[in-house]
Amino acid sequence: MKITGIQTWLVRPRWAFVEIVTDEGLSGWGEPVLEGRAATVCTCIEELKPYLLGRDPMQIEDIWTVLFRGGFYRGGGIAMSTLSGIDQALWDIKGKFFGAPVWQLLGGRCRDRMRVYSWVGGDRPSDVAQAALEKKKQGFTAVKMNGTDELQFLDSYEKIDALLERVASVREACGKGFGIAIDFHGRVHKPMAKVVAKKLEEFDPMFLEEPVLCENMEYFKEIAAACNIPIATGERLFTKYDYKRLLAAGGVDIIQPDLSHAGGLTECRKIAAMAEAHDVALAPHCPLGPVALASCLNLDAVCYNAVIQEQSIGIHYNEGRCVLDYALNQEDLAFTDGFVALPRLSGLGVTVNKALVEEEGRTPHAWKNPVWRHEDGSLAEW
């Protein structure tokens, strides 16, 4: 079997798809996207076509190694997101060839279903209590919310008080056993992060996400010492080598590799195993589409340390299109009592609505990250 064609599409709300076609009629789908730089990733795939056309798609490990090591310069968001989408598509082909879900090829499942959480509150969090209660009524057992809007290195305690009031309102509305994850989106710097983490203890959050950016990973241990809340991070790390440094630095309890950014299933399987060896949990990042979500679920199925899965149905980013629009087998992504079943179809488990992908691709999106500024005019972390 040989790879004979590779095509990409930019689709709403801010995603990209790639299809890899073979001479035996099998094709595989991936989501090669770095949000805000999706067109660049698709261009990178065009550059890599000479390494792929004519190759046997079953040789995933060798293709991955060639694309990663053969370019001399390695890592980074663009190159690794490109590699991630290609890797997903190759695993999709392999599963279809053997007539089995990818998780079967990765060693078989170690769980029957996967717990999921839902987003509430938007970019600038508001009305979180009512939104969280609605999610609870839908069967979810956990939600994630942005903690705060922009924060300076030293900022007003009024913003912290507002954060505490929001979290308190969710806890009061949903009860003690309900999971509350608080994402700081890298908006908080170390001086305020320690203050915020300590004050949030009384509400028993499920975890704090990105209390500081990963470029300051040596300070996670310091923040962890200031509170008794699990710390999660990793969506902006791209290789096992990034995670090697993170795990060595300590202080992190949950890693969140993104299977559309961190090398696909091939690399993230290794990252998850590294984390397990450090007694660190896995909760893959996934504010993306159905192929990315299915990739995560195949990984979750085989990782003992997988604890909960992000998904983007209803997330505030999804304008115009949502996850289920691009899947013809929508019933396989249904949530029941806060869980989702493992993929049942061969390959990654998603039957992509190619007609819709092609329709959307005729008017490609140009989504860009917002630019926020502080009151003094300086750039604020979004």
- Which among 185, 189, 261, 365 is annotated as catalytic? 185
pLDDT bin (cut points 50, 70, 90) of residue 315 is: confident
Residue 372 has a CB neighbour count (10 Å cut-off) of: 14
pLDDT of residue 122: 85
Q: Is 52 left (phi over 0), alpha (psi -120 to 50) or beta?
A: alpha
Taking the C-alpha atoms of residue 316 and residue 123, their distance in angstroms, rounded to an integer, is 7
pLDDT of residue 201: 96
Q: Which amino acid is at 10?
A: L
Taking the C-alpha atoms of residue 317 and residue 295, their distance in angstroms, rounded to an integer, is 20
- Give the pair of three-digit tokens for residue 93: 């082909």
pLDDT bin (cut points 50, 70, 90) of residue 125 is: confident
Taking the C-alpha atoms of residue 375 and residue 213, their distance in angstroms, rounded to an integer, is 22
**Contact 218/233 with Cβ under 8 angstroms?**
no
* Predicted structure pTM score: 0.96
The widest CA-to-CA distance across the chain, in whole angstroms, is 63
Which residues lie closer than 8 Å to 315 by C-beta, 6 or more apart? 119, 287
pLDDT bin (cut points 50, 70, 90) of residue 225 is: very high
- Give the pair of three-digit tokens for residue 331: 């019933």
For residues 346-356, average pLDDT: 98
**Whether residue 285 lies in the annotated active site:** yes
DSSP annotation of 121 reads S
Higher pLDDT, 127 or 302: 302
Closest Cα to residue 374, out of 95, 186, 187, 99? 187
How far CA 260 is from CA of 4, 15, 30, 179, 291, in Å, comes to 23, 10, 8, 26, 9
Indicate if the pLDDT at residue 123 is higher than 90: no
Taking the C-alpha atoms of residue 255 and residue 280, their distance in angstroms, rounded to an integer, is 7
Q: Going by DSSP bridges, is the β-strand pair 207-209/15-22 parallel, antiparallel, or unpaired?
A: unpaired
pLDDT bin (cut points 50, 70, 90) of residue 318 is: confident
Taking the C-alpha atoms of residue 101 and residue 380, their distance in angstroms, rounded to an integer, is 43
For residues 15-39, average pLDDT: 97
Q: Which residue has the tokens 């795939």?
A: 45
Indicate if the pLDDT at residue 59 is higher than 90: yes
Taking the C-alpha atoms of residue 204 and residue 168, their distance in angstroms, rounded to an integer, is 10
The torsion of the CA quartet 133, 139, 141, 144, rounded to 10 degrees, works out to -60
Per DSSP (E only), the strands in the chain are: 3-11, 15-22, 27-30, 113-120, 142-146, 179-183, 207-209, 231-233, 254-255, 281-282, 309-310, 335-336, 339-341, 372-373, 379-380
Closest Cα to residue 14, out of 382, 364, 296? 364
Taking the C-alpha atoms of residue 285 and residue 308, their distance in angstroms, rounded to an integer, is 10
- Which among 189, 261, 285, 365 is annotated as catalytic? 285
For 280-292, b/e burial (b = at least 16 CB within 10 A) is bbbbbbbbbbbbb
For residues 233-249, average pLDDT: 98
Q: Which residue has the tokens 């969280």?
A: 132
